[in-house]
Structure 1
């Protein structure tokens, strides 16, 4: 089995993980999403060059995605550690 950093099985990165009841994960996702949207709106208003605007917004989408994945992976890791 291929494992990633911190010994999490790779399969955990490719399945849906609903938030654990009582966790703070939804609040964290909401905060990241709101800040990314605010930044994207600023980019849209302040940058005229269409190519630079497109690249900047794409980079923000990627940053948002990886930040949210990081929040989920943190919870997966906590849950796996609690099981041991």
Structure 2
């Protein structure tokens, strides 16, 4: 999401790259989301929670440095192959 580089997290700044990525997740066009740093990626809890819910609905996995998480699994995000 290079579109959002250099954009401040303060205020109501529109983040076209993040919004486009969430839309593509909703359409089932993204199989995995792998942010380098979640706090810089989603910028706030509401955005992060919205993304997790959409990943759960369409079956997209989340990847961090330690594991792959499948939000669709019961009992919350479950690590796969950790």
> Structure 1-normalised TM-score?
0.23
Higher relative contact order structure (alpha carbons within 8 Å, sequence separation ≥ 6): 1
Which structure has more strand as a fraction of its residues?
2
Larger radius of gyration: 1
Which structure has more helix as a fraction of its residues?
1
> Structure 2-normalised TM-score?
0.24
